[in-house]
Chain A
Amino acid sequence: DQQVKQNSPSLSVQEGRISILNCDYTNSMFDYFLWYKKYPAEGPTFLISISSIKDKNEDGRFTVFLNKSAKHLSLHIVPSQPGDSAVYFCAAKGRNTPLVFGKGTRLSVIA
């Protein structure tokens, strides 16, 4: 049973435009959500996170939105740059439980 779902395996966006990556979750006990970025043959690196008590968190070009009622979160990257091309993993966590990851979305930013 997949608790964190990223239904789009891939996304292509033109440089300078907005990238929107989506994530859905099923476990209402999750209270913290994170996005990780992963390049091939490397470990994932933390990008941005949001607590369940907030609905938006912004860090430079990256913004995460959380809709608790819909159990949905999204990552917005604007403007998108070629260096943003990577696999993005959505992850969720409850207190005292391990991080659960989605299957990832491969973002390609085309120059």
Chain B
Amino acid sequence: SQTIHQWPATLVQPVGSPLSLECTVEGTSNPNLYWYRQAAGRGLQLLFYSVGIGQISSEVPQNLSASRPQDRQFILSSKKLLLSDSGFYLCAWQHSNYGYTFGSGTRLTVV
């Protein structure tokens, strides 16, 4: 069966520090992968998506970047975190034409 793993579950980082969040999918190949962020009052905002290795589409210009070094690995990064980067980050994979399954999320607090 297919599963999605996301870590860490919680993270507290100082302003200006780097960030790396990892997401991996098991049991499928060449999935479409997505990074969303839930910030206060903003709902679920799409940040990046990828339809294959090395292919990244950015939806919102910001302080973050994404990479897909392997077929089932999707990484969200930042070189220098801002206070406004705080939020709940969710990775998802698309398992059908319209169905997404989400990971358990990472709560990032920038202090």
A residues contacting B by CB (< 8 A) are: 6, 32, 34, 36, 41-46, 49, 89, 91, 93, 95, 98-104
Contacts and interface: CB of A to CB of B under 8 A. Distances in A.
Nearest to A102: B43
Given A34-B98, A44-B90, A46-B99, A100 B107 contact: no
Contacts of A99: 34, 46, 98, 100
27 contacts: A6-B43, A34-B98, A34-B99, A36-B102, A41-B9, A41-B88, A41-B107, A43-B6, A43-B90, A43-B102, A43-B104, A43-B105, A44-B44, A45-B102, A46-B99, A46-B101, A49-B99, A89-B43, A89-B44, A91-B44, A98-B59, A99-B34, A99-B46, A99-B98, A101-B45, A102-B43, A103-B43
Interface residues of B, number: 25
B27 interface: no
B31 interface: no
Contacts, number: 53
Contacts of A95: 97
Contacts of B43: 6, 89, 101-104
A44 B99 CA distance: 12
Given A42-B105, A43-B105, A44-B90, A101 B99 contact: no
Nearest to A100: B46
B7 interface: no
A35 to B, nearest CB: 12
Given A43-B90, A98-B49, A103 B42 contact: yes
Contacts of A98: 34, 46, 49, 59
Contacts of B9: 41
Interface centre among A89, A93, A98 (most CB of B within 10 A): A98
